[in-house]
Amino acid sequence: MAENKETTSAGSFTSAMTLSQMGINSVINHGIPISFTNEALDVAAEFFNMPNETKMCLASSDVREPVRTKMGNYAKAVHELHKKLMEVVFESLGLRPDYLQEDIEHGSQVMAVNCYPACPEPNLALGLPPHSDYGSITILLQNHQGLEIMDGNGKWQSVPVIKEALIVQLGDQMEVLSNGRYKSVVHRAILNSVKKRLSIASLHSLAIDKKVIPAPELVDKQHPLSYKEGSFGDFLHFLSDNDILEGRYIDTLKKNAEIEFM
């Protein structure tokens, strides 16, 4: 987890590459034109510089209702990248690279565009509390350092900004699909005392109402079924009924879990 090293470009993905070669939960080169990433960050900056009244005109209380932006080039490019990454992850699990291809094709992509103003006392505040993303894969772009990933020892590791690289994180859906072989990444965002920070998280999931279950191929005597089914829609209900600080949705899906929410 969080190796923070550059690996390979998207152009050279091959089906034989292993997870660590790919740098999953890490920083990767990706083959997406720098003009697309720059444009996405410019659009984000432009949005956050707009007066509040203008932003309110675009507001919606329904996460299913998309807001139109000019991030199309970048959004499409990361959608393609995530499909390649899914193939590599499935292969690393011993599944066919085209596993769930149809569902992935009809899946959802949510672009979370975050702005963290500079904070004179960053140690007294947190940009985004610890959480894991629900989807299968998150591809994240940041203009300044601030993302931290929890390592295997429960310590926070800062993810550096590497020029022309993106951050890849596995989400809860991949933990379920892999029957726990892979764990979703717990991460948070911290604040900077002088710099305003922008990040764009592209969260990729199967379709909103698709119930996700562990791949039957990964369930056997040594690896009993460890998760109940859940969908992106169920996750959104969980979010509206629970405080993000009190627990993660993935914990409610774990079989024999002691924690029970709602």
Which candidate, 173, 180, 179, 253, places its Cα nearest to that of 216?
179
Computed from CA positions of residues 51, 201, 1, 3, in that sequence, does the dihedral angle turn out positive or negative?
A: negative
The tokens of 172 are what? Answer: 């809860």
Output 181 or 188, the one with its CB closest to ligand AKG: 188
114 makes contact, choosing from Fe ion, ligand AKG, none, with CB < 5 to 8 Å by partner type, with: ligand AKG
208 binds ligand AKG (CB under 6 A): no
If 0-12 CB within 10 Å is exposed, 13-18 middle and 19+ buried, where does residue 73 land?
middle
Region binding ligand AKG by CB under 6 A among candidate stretches 28-36, 53-61, 139-147, 246-254: 139-147
Residue 102 Cβ vs ligand AKG, minimum distance, rounded to whole Å: 26
Among 81, 201, 206, 212, binds ligand AKG (CB under 6 A): 201
Among 2, 29, 78, 133, binds Fe ion (CB under 5 A): 133
Region binding Fe ion by CB under 5 A among candidate stretches 13-21, 26-34, 65-73, 129-137: 129-137
Residue 114 Cβ vs Fe ion, minimum distance, rounded to whole Å: 9
Using CB under 6 A as the binding rule, the residues of this chain from 3 to 62 that contact ligand AKG are none
Amino acid at 175: E
Among 142, 173, 184, 252, binds ligand AKG (CB under 6 A): 142
In the stretch 214-243, what mask flags binding to Fe ion with x, by CB under 5 A? ------------------------------
Q: Give yes or no for a contact between 225 and 179, defined as CB atoms under 8 angstroms apart.
A: yes
Among 2, 189, 191, 253, binds ligand AKG (CB under 6 A): 189
Output 147 or 177, the one with its CB closest to ligand AKG: 147
User: For the chain, give me the number of helices (H) and strands (E)?
Assistant: 8, 9
DSSP for 154-183? S-EEEPP--TTEEEEEE-HHHHHHTTTSS-
Residue 149 Cβ vs ligand AKG, minimum distance, rounded to whole Å: 10
First CA to last CA across the chain, in angstroms? Answer: 31
Residue 67 Cβ vs Fe ion, minimum distance, rounded to whole Å: 19
Output 93 or 167, the one with its CB closest to ligand AKG: 167
Among 63, 112, 207, 218, binds ligand AKG (CB under 6 A): 112
The DSSP 8-state label assigned to residue 9 in this structure reads: -
Q: How far apart are CA 216 and CA 239, in angstroms?
A: 28
Computed from CA positions of residues 40, 45, 50, 55, in that sequence, does the dihedral angle turn out positive or negative?
A: positive
Q: How far apart are CA 131 and CA 100, in angstroms?
A: 26
3-7: Cβ within 8 A, 24+ apart: 4/157, 4/159, 4/160, 6/162, 6/165
Number of chain residues interacting with Fe ion (CB under 5 A): 1
Amino acid at 99: Y
147 binds ligand AKG (CB under 6 A): yes
Q: Give yes or no for a contact between 206 and 86, defined as CB atoms under 8 angstroms apart.
A: no
Residues of this chain that interact with ligand AKG (CB under 6 A) are 112, 114, 128, 133, 140, 142, 146-147, 187, 189, 199, 201
Residues of this chain that interact with Fe ion (CB under 5 A) are 133
